[in-house]
Copies of this chain bind each other. A is one copy, B any other.
């Protein structure tokens, strides 16, 4: 399964449909909101996941909020890298 915390699905390197399934599964537990999160190149995939969920699986879901930010990741060597991030909140 895709990584998922409480009402959250974090998009990584798996196929898009793994994450679509994770989002749909969370909604099927009865929650009203699920947040799709991604960093760096996975941001495009987060948008794909959101679009597939609302157009093909759960037509009653809406994009409630989208926010973007910059996160600082520290590597093992102590250097820090900045990476863009997105959070898409879906509600039904």
Contacts and interface: CB of A to CB of B under 8 A. Distances in A.
Interface of A: 40-44, 47-48, 50-51, 55, 63, 66-70, 84-86, 88
B68 A50 contact: yes
B40 A44 contact: yes
Determine how many copies of this chain the complex contains.
Answer: 2
A44 B84 contact: yes
A14 to B, nearest CB: 16
Contacts of A68: 47, 50-51, 63, 66, 88
Nearest to A41: B44
A68 B51 CA distance: 8
A33 B53 CA distance: 31
